[in-house]
Amino acid sequence: MKVILVNERGGTRSFSFGGLSKALLGLCLLGLPVGAFLAGANLPVAGTDVFDARTAKAWNKALRKQQQQIDEADQKAREQLSALTVKLAELQARLTRIDALGERLTTVAHLDEGEFQFDTPPAVGGPEETNIPGSGDLPYKPPQFIDLIENLASQIENRQMQLTTLESLLAKRHLQDEQFIAGRPIKRGWLSSHYGYRTDPFTGRRAWHGGLDFAGKMGSDVVAVAAGVVTWAGDRYGYGQLVEINHGNGYKTRYGHNSALKVKVGDVVKKGQIISLMGSSGRSTGPHVHFEVYKNNRPVDPASYIRRTGR
């Protein structure tokens, strides 16, 4: 084998190789690309991660941590759902009690049928708004238990509004019942003198009697025929020991000839409350109570009121 080398000046030089030299030169030429390939194989490739046992361990650790977080979130969600379930049951029980109470009050108050309905959902309505931006998109649908809680809260709010209105109505009706003049001013006794003209027991002449007289036992109870405020409690000419009560709406009553008073000016009295004890003070022939009713400061016949029954 003969190799010719050319230098930069154009000169040449030749070499001759024998059999052994040829073999060595071939191995060198063949080993260059193989060595280059092996060297390149040992270099790391740019932009890639080397996956080894340490990397696998780190990944497993991260996965275990994420699984632990998922388990904790799941447990917390279950606990919250359990608490919401208990709360939902409490709201349902509360609504049942409110409905029962409302129906009972409606019955006791003798209200018109259908005026207060505690056994049906509240009536609602209104026109549908179609020009709202984004109304064509499908709205978010909350979980079913949230819908139930919101529905129960709405029902409870409606029932509370009805009960508030019913309470105000009953309070007003109770006040009207208390102020309604009806019944006799005594617990025991009898009617001894009517309203109108009569023969005066002291002079024997015809005279006007502006009330009713109820005779009875000395010291027996005298009661208010309606609720009101005491505007007089003491001596008054002709009446002896007198109690006067203002009942509002232009009405007032008087109770005369008492032996003792149980109230004073400014006291608020209830219907049927004992206000004095029967006596014979003032211009009187014996133990009795002189009962008068005034409407707009004018005396009226008490007989029409004592025959009335409470509302």
Query: In this structure, what CATH number is given to the domain that contains residue 235?
Result: 2.70.70.10
CA dihedral of 218, 303, 266, 220, whole degrees rounded to 10: 10
The reply to whether 12 falls in a domain is no
pLDDT in tens, 144-177: 666 777 777 777 777 777 776 666 666 666 666 7
Domain around 111: 78-116+144-179
Q: Let me know whether 276 and 297 are in one domain.
A: yes
The reply to whether 55 falls in a domain is no
The reply to whether 234 falls in a domain is yes
Q: Let me know whether 253 and 214 are in one domain.
A: yes
Residue 229: φ, ψ to 5°: -115, 135
How far is it, in rounded angstroms, from Cα 308 to Cα 303? 9
Question: What DSSP letter does each residue of 36-56 carry, written as one string?
Answer: HHHHHHHSPPTT-----HHHH
The reply to whether 18 falls in a domain is no
Residue 186 confidence class, pLDDT cut points 50, 70, 90: very high
Residues of 42-54 as b/e, b for ≥16 C-beta within 10 angstroms?
eeeeeeeeeeeee
Mention every residue, 6+ apart, whose C-beta is less than 8 A from residue 190.
Answer: 214, 215, 216
Are the C-beta atoms of residues 294 and 253 closer than 8 Å to each other? Answer: yes
**Domain end marker among 159, 179, 199:** 179
Q: Let me know whether 198 and 254 are in one domain.
A: yes
pLDDT in tens, 275-287: 999 999 999 999 9
Q: Let me know whether 166 and 92 are in one domain.
A: yes
Q: Let me know whether 244 and 274 are in one domain.
A: yes
Q: Let me know whether 196 and 299 are in one domain.
A: yes
The reply to whether 130 falls in a domain is no
Q: How many domains does the chain have?
A: 2
Inform me whether the pLDDT recorded for 45 exceeds 90: no
- The pTM of this model reads 0.51
Q: Identify which of 276, 214, 196 has the alpha carbon closest to the alpha carbon of residue 240.
A: 276
The reply to whether 121 falls in a domain is no
Q: Let me know whether 92 and 150 are in one domain.
A: yes
The reply to whether 159 falls in a domain is yes
How far is it, in rounded angstroms, from Cα 146 to Cα 140? 12
The reply to whether 127 falls in a domain is no
Inform me whether the pLDDT recorded for 3 exceeds 60: no
- What was the pLDDT predicted at 253? 96
How many C-alpha atoms does 253 have within 13 Å on its Cβ side?
Answer: 29
How far is it, in rounded angstroms, from Cα 41 to Cα 31? 15
Rounded to a whole number of angstroms, the distance between the first and last alpha carbons of the chain is: 142
Task: Please give the average per-residue pLDDT across 178-201, as a whole number.
Answer: 90
Q: Let me know whether 197 and 294 are in one domain.
A: yes
Q: Let me know whether 168 and 220 are in one domain.
A: no
Q: Let me know whether 161 and 222 are in one domain.
A: no
